[in-house]
Structure formats: structure tokens, C-alpha cells
Amino acid sequence: MNPVLYKFHVRDLLDVDEDYIWNLNRGKMELTFDDSEVVIADVCDVQISWYYWALAEAYRDLQITRKLFLDGRTFTDDLHRKMMFEAISPTIGNPDFDKEDVWLLSYRDIYNRIYNAVVTRLVEYIGSTTSLDALELMCDEEISAANNAVTDDLGTIDHAYETISSVVRRKYHRNPIVRAIVNKTVKEPQILQSIGPRGRITDIDSVIFRKPIKRGFAMGFRDIIAFAKESRSAAKALLFNKDPVAIAEYFNRKLQLVCNTITKLHKGDCGTKQYQQMTIPEGKEGDQMLGGLAGLFMLDGDRLVEIKEDMQHLRGKTISLRTTLCCKHLRNQGVCETCYGMTSYGIPYDSNPGHISCTSLCKEISQLIISTKHLDFIVHKFLVLLRGNDATYLRVIPGQNEFLYLSEKVKPDHVVLRILADEAKNLVQVKYITDVNNIEVTNLSSLSTAEFYVRDASSGLIDGVTLDMVRSSTKASLSIDLLKHLQVTGWETVNNWLYINLANWEHDKPLFVYPLKHESMAEFGKRVEVFIRSTTKSDGDDDELADVHASSNAAKLTSYNDADRALYDGYRLISSKIKGIHIGHIATILAASRVTSARQGDWFIPNDLFNGEFKSHDEIIRHRSLSVQMLYGWQQQTYNDLSCYLQHKRPYNPMDGLIYIPPQS
């Protein structure tokens, strides 16, 4: 039994100074909380928890309970954030506390002081890692067996990663590297690439090398090919740190110019009766979405309740949601705290909620572009699955995840494959290329559908089946083998269709391939920009975006009439790469992108969820307050543009004060 060195009530410790706390002897202490709960505590836990009681020192009515106590838990970033929230949560929504005072106290007296204490007073406890720690993990029987079994087959790499991830947690929780993973001070994928195989690598043009690097950083690379491939990661980081960051930040700026039209945050609830309908998916995706919805309000019977991250019973249900898009204040360029959600607590008085929403989104995009070297971690599990009618003509071979083969039940001699000419515009190139092995298959074809027919005796085509060729939003391409086949047999073009005769086709050759192309964060950022700003090529400003616009059928807000669908799709697009983006911010950005009626020259934001239209941001800038256009660009064109003088219903903009308009005499 450890002797109890001290007996304290938490209130006794409030008035002592920092040195007193740190001069206590290490050992056990009997500690009584405000709610009379008594615990036997480690003095060390008390020394750290003590900082979180600073608010109770300033506001004597606040209670200090066991929630504000470390209680043997490992002190991590996450736990720090949780305890900060516990400390301030009794003050949220309570009129006796001014939120900006609470923030000042929590930053000055909790955050700063605990940071200083941790880095200066705990120096003797700082750990380090050595190569022996890595060796300990690599020499583990299960891990080395999984590493030795790695081949070019991506399944074996995934297996190695899964093995490492589970073995280290099960057997080696004292290993400093494992502690760093568990406490999230390093990202797990980075450790997996060291202890396990490096895996697949993306080139600077986003093409993924077909063969992975089978050794990891800790094992060391042994051949020049691996070094050459790995060098691409650094090349990519260099490439992405310049222009793409500038482009992403410029997008941020352009977005602010439109979103800052929502200028005010109104106290309380506007009382709107309009709600957005949002269906939360089942399973893990549903959990992720709940994270994005947390803090917004939904209708439960006739009451509004705050959505919490852990409301898993909402998965699979459609909820009636309050967002900025519903708010009655929109027409007057404001949004109420209830429609904006709990995020409104975190916004300083008099700040512009539209501006805050777009910087919250864009900072994530910029950050991800900068950290691209570390985070471009390719998920190997691209698996082509057969659906519906697919199996009539197609089959998959285990381990050949990116290929589709002709079904062995089909006799190829009478089979005709029909594809859209538009989806294979450059196919004619195969006639002039000697070695198709070096060809980039996506340049020749990119198929959304393929049709199979059987040619009967009278030479008519029967038994047609249309197959959807899009998997995980990737289009299929004709395989190298099929291109070689076409070099010999050619094809027939009739109207908008290409007919490919599969006579003499061998079953062991793949027909279609899903090209291994990895979308970089920079490309992703552009796609988000095209979606939100609904950029059109004719506006001429965004040359970089023209590619995205032309190459993919990137979705745009202006193609949506329904704000619910626009919000859902916008969230899906953004959350495909950015985890934890708040749906309330997306809704605010969408709200600013709507106008009441362009035809009637009313460019105010509608305060009606069901009437109003999305407009491209370039049009919005031109037809709302012109100070923004004058600061943005194309001043001369705007000056000469007649339509600019015909709009009378224009909202003001915070930038208006920057433009001086002389009084008319």
C-alpha cells in the first residue's frame, strides 16, 4: 500500500501558486472534489489537472469535479482538448459569463501555462526512439512473416499493414514507436511504410507505379528502381508547395469575396419553419457524417435538439436539419445562432460568419496540399466487383483487382463489343503506334458504359446487354491486350458507336483496365473550386481550372435546383478527402452562392429554402456590390458592361467602405 502523503480539497489548491504544486512530493494524495467525491490520486495527475481549474479560480461558482481530473489517463493532445472543453462547457450559453472573457482566461491561464509547464517541468520524462525500437518490431515473428510474404500483389501489402497495425498494439505497447502511434504523435501510415513495405507510389503526374516498393524505410531500399520511384514523393512535395498552394489560397480569397455577404450573426433563434432534409448513411460513413453534423440543430418532434457525434441511432434515418440555408435573416445578410449551429459560440463578437465559414473550409485544403508528401497514402483496396448483369459477359480474377476479363462461359467468336465513339476519341492512334505497351490507356479510352451483343447467323446483333463501367468513380479503359487486338482486327464506326469484334479473343487476357491514377490534393482542390464557384470557361480567369472543367464532367452548384441535394453532394465531394469538415460551414457557403431571382435583377440572398437559385460566383460578384468586383479584377469590362447598371437589388458588402464614391452635385 502506498501511503497517502497529502489530503486536500480542490478548493485548498486554488489559491496556491504553481511552484507550490510542483514542489509536492511524488506519491499519492487524497483529493476531495466540489461534489464531495473523494479519490486517491497520483500527485503527478493533480499537478497537470490543476491548470484546468483556473476558470474556477476566476469564477468561484464553477464546480470542480472528477471530469476535470486526469485520473490516470495518458495526457495527449486529444485529452487536453477534451479537458479544455470540460473546463469551459458550464459557461457556454450561460448569460452570467462573457464568452470572450472565458476565452481569454482559458488561453492565458490554462493553455499557455500548461504548455509551459509540460515543456519545462517534465523534461526528465522525455522519451526518445532508437533504431532498436524499430528492430524490435521488425523482428517480431508475425510481422517479419508478413513482410517476407510481400509480392507485387497489393493484397500482400495490405496484409502486412494490417498485421503490423494489430501486432504492435497487442504485444508492444511499451515500445516508444508504438506509444507514439497510439497517442497519435505520429501518423500510423508513416510508421507502416517504415516497418512494413513502402507500397505503391504516385508519380508527379498522379499516375501510380504499377509495381510497389516491397521494402520499407527501416529495411532500406536495395535497388535503384525503388530509389527512383521514392524520389517522386519529394519531387511532388516540391512541386505542390509552390503553385498549388498559391492557387488554393487564391480560391480562398475569391470565396471570401462572395461569402462575406453574410455579415451578421444574430443572437438566438430566427424561428424559421423551413428545414433541410438530410439522410444519414448507415455504418462508418454515417458516423463520419454525424461528426460533420455535430453542433447543428435538428427537429425532434416539435423541439430543436443539438446533434451530437455519438447519436448513432440517427444512422439510416432522414433528419430535418437547421442550417444557414434555412435562416430568416439571410435576406438581411445575417444568420441566427441556431441556424448557424453551436459553431456560433466559437466566433468572436462582430465577426463575419460567411468569412469564417469559407476560411474554415479552405484552410483544410491548403494544409492538405502542403502535407501531400506524408498523406498521399494510397488505399490499395481498389477492387472491381461484378454487379447486376456484369457476370453475363465479364469475370474477375482474384489478385487482379484492376482488371475485367471476358467470362469463360462466353464464346468470343460471335461477340461484339460496342462503345461510344466519344469515349474513345484517340483510339485511332493504335494504328500508328508500333508498341502499345508504352501507351497511356486513359488517353485512348475512358468508358462509362460498354455494350455486348451476339452476332447471329443473319448478321444481326442480338442479346444486347449494357454494362455500367464506372467503379469507385473511376472509368474503365480498353486494356493493352485489347488495343493489340484492335491493331490487328480494327473496328467499325457506325454513327456515334465503335463496334469491336472479339473473334479469336483469349479468355486469359483482360478486356478492361481501371487505370491507376491518384487524384492529388491540388487536383481535388480545383474540383471543389469548380463545384462551389461554378466556374465557366468563358469567364476566362481560371486557366488552371479549364483543364478540370474540360476533362471531367465536374459537378457545379448551378446545376442544382434543390438545396438539400446540393448540400449533400457538396458534403460528399469535400469529405471524400477532408475528414471532419463541418456541414454547417458548407451550408453557409452554399447560402451565399444563391440569389433570389437573377431574371428579376434581385441579387439578394433569398430567405427561402425553396425559392432562389444558385449562380456562378463570377456572376454574383458582377451583380452584387461592385466594390468587390473593383477589388477583384476586370474593372474595365465591368465598367463597360451594360447589365451591371440594370441591377437595382444589390446587397451591400463589407468592402464598400474601401471605395470612395464622390457625392453627386
Choices 8-16, 48-56, 338-346, 541-549; region in contact with Zn ion by CB under 5 A: 338-346
- Residue span binding Zn ion (CB under 5 A) among the ranges 95-103, 107-115, 324-332, 421-429: 324-332
Pick the closer one to Zn ion by CB: 340 or 568: 340
Residue closer to Zn ion by CB (options 183, 277) is 277
Determine how β-strand 394-395 pairs with β-strand 403-406: antiparallel
Task: Using alpha carbons, select from 44, 76, 48, 72 the residue that is nearest to residue 180.
Answer: 76
Q: By CB under 5 A, tell whether 29 contacts Zn ion.
A: no
Long-range contacts of 65-71 (CB under 8 A, 24+ apart): 65/33, 65/34, 65/35, 65/37, 66/33, 66/37, 66/39, 69/31, 69/33, 69/39, 69/41, 69/45, 70/45, 70/46, 71/39, 71/41, 71/45
Q: Residue 134 interacts with Zn ion (CB under 5 A)?
A: no
The grid coordinates of residue 12 equal 485548498
- Minimum distance between the CB of residue 591 and Zn ion, rounded to whole angstroms? 11
Residues within window 261-290 making contact with Zn ion, judged by CB under 5 A: 270
Least separation in angstroms between CB 337 and Zn ion: 8
Minimum Å gap between C-beta 596 and Zn ion is: 17
Residue 325 or 404 with smaller CB distance to Zn ion = 325
The CB-of-302 to Zn ion minimum distance in angstroms stands at 17
In the complex, the smallest distance separating the C-beta of residue 322 from Zn ion, rounded to whole angstroms, is 7
For the bound state, the minimum distance from the C-beta of residue 338 to Zn ion, rounded and expressed in Å, comes to 6
Least distance in angstroms from the C-beta of 649 to Zn ion: 21
Task: Choose between 212 and 584: whose C-beta lies nearer to Zn ion.
Answer: 584
CA distance 13 to 32: 11
**Sign of the torsion angle spanned by Cα atoms 80, 84, 86, 92:** negative
Nearer to Zn ion, 199 or 612 (CB): 612
Of the two residues 154 and 339, which places its CB atom closer to Zn ion in the complex?
A: 339
Q: Is 339 in the site for Zn ion (CB under 5 A)?
A: yes
Q: Which stretch binds Zn ion (CB under 5 A): 211-219, 253-261, 326-334, 372-380?
A: 326-334
327, 368, 469, 476: residue in contact with Zn ion (rule CB under 5 A): 327
**233: helix, coil or strand?**
helix
CB of 351 to Zn ion, least distance (A): 17
CB nearer to Zn ion: pick between 339 and 581: 339
Q: Contact, 623 vs 647, CB < 8 A?
A: yes
Whether the CA torsion 11, 17, 22, 23 is positive or negative: it is: negative
Binding range to Zn ion, per CB under 5 A, among 327-335, 377-385, 416-424, 514-522: 327-335
Binding segment (CB under 5 A) for Zn ion, from list 117-125, 274-282, 325-333, 511-519: 325-333
Contact 418, 406 (CB under 8 A): no
Is 336 or 516 the residue whose CB approaches Zn ion more closely? Answer: 336
Contact track, Zn ion, 65-104, x by CB under 5 A: ----------------------------------------
**Amino acid at position 266, single letter:** H
How does strand 4-9 pair with strand 28-32? parallel
Number of neighbouring beta carbons within 10 Å of residue 660: 5
**Residue indicated by cell numbers 458507336:** 497
Q: Site size for Zn ion, by CB under 5 A?
A: 4
Nearest Cα neighbor of 27 from 66, 53, 51, 1 is 1
Q: In this structure, what C-alpha cell is assigned to residue 543?
A: 486557366
How near is the Cβ of 430 to Zn ion at its closest, in Å? 59
Question: Which cell numbers hold the place of 190?
Answer: 508513416
Read off the C-alpha cell for 507. 479468355
Classify residue 103 by burial, with Cβ atoms within 10 Å: 0-12, 13-18, 19+. Answer: middle
Q: Which of residues 212-271 bind Zn ion (CB under 5 A)?
A: 270
- Quick one: 174 or 267, whose CB is closer to Zn ion? 267
226, 296, 336, 528: which one binds Zn ion (CB under 5 A): 336
Name the one range near Zn ion by CB under 5 A: 55-63, 238-246, 336-344, 593-601: 336-344
Q: Which is nearer to Zn ion, 93 or 490 (CB)?
A: 93
DSSP 357: H
Question: CA 599: distance to chain centroid?
Answer: 36
Select 145 or 305, whichever has its Cβ closest to Zn ion: 305
Tell the smallest beta-carbon distance from residue 32 to Zn ion (Å).
45
**Buried/exposed 243-271: b ≥16 CB within 10 Å, e otherwise:** ebbebbeebbebbbbbbbbbbebbeeebe
Q: Closer CB to Zn ion, residue 327 or residue 590?
A: 327
Q: Are 146 and 164 in contact (CB under 8 A)?
A: yes
Q: Which stretch binds Zn ion (CB under 5 A): 297-305, 337-345, 405-413, 632-640?
A: 337-345
Minimum separation from the CB atom of position 309 to Zn ion (A): 23
Interface stretch with Zn ion, choices 334-342, 392-400, 535-543, 547-555 (CB under 5 A): 334-342
Q: How far apart are CA 420 and CA 427, in angstroms?
A: 11
**Least Cβ distance, residue 336 to Zn ion (angstroms):** 3
- Residue 481 sits at the vertex; the CA angle it makes with 476 and 485, to the nearest 5 degrees, is 110
Strand extents, DSSP E, 448-579:
449-455, 461-468, 477-478, 492-494, 497-501, 510-513
Smallest gap, in angstroms, from Cβ of residue 341 to Zn ion?
10
Return residues touching Zn ion (CB under 5 A): 270, 327, 336, 339
